Amino acid sequence: MKNKLTEAEKELMEILWTNKTAFMKDLLQALPEPKPAATTVATNLKRMQNKDLIGYKSFGNSRQYFPKVKKEDYFNGEMTSIINQFFNSSVSQFASFFTANSKLSQQQLKELRDIIDNQIKD
């Protein structure tokens, strides 16, 4: 994925996905301790704008930020990138690795099978 978020950017994006919009003060308030400096947050917001992941509306000297990409779409891109990079673009290889290495219970495996069965159109 070309517009991959850093960990710090993901924190900000999670707040925006949850709240839909936020001013700088809202973002700073929502971040966990130890809180980064406002200048650090501003730098991350600028990078996210450059990646075209967020936008903003101006209200005087304040900016209200909003996500330009849905969380599901971003996550889908991340998963596709992982599958392409580590599993030779093979969803089957990914599924095999995931089920063998994630220590799923029998119940979880059955639930996963049910999900797949429901996706298969006869």
What is the C-alpha to C-alpha distance for residues 51 and 11, in angstroms, rounded to an integer? 16
Tokens of 35: 């809180």
Q: What is the dihedral of CA 111, 113, 115, 118, to 10 degrees?
A: -130
Q: What CA–CA distances, in Å, run from 51 to 3, 9, 42, 75?
A: 6, 11, 14, 16
- Render 51-79 in DSSP notation, one character per residue: TTSEEEEEETTEEEEEESS-HHHHHHHHH
What is the C-alpha to C-alpha distance for residues 85 and 2, in angstroms, rounded to an integer? 13
Per-position pLDDT tens, the chain of length 122: 568 899 999 999 999 999 999 999 999 999 999 999 999 999 999 999 999 999 999 999 999 999 999 999 999 999 999 999 999 999 889 988 888 888 888 899 899 889 888 988 76
Tokens of 41: 């947050």
pLDDT of residue 122: 60
pLDDT of residue 43: 97
Name the pTM for this structure: 0.79
Q: Is omega for the bond preceding 36 within 30 degrees of 0, making it cis?
A: no
pLDDT of residue 1: 54
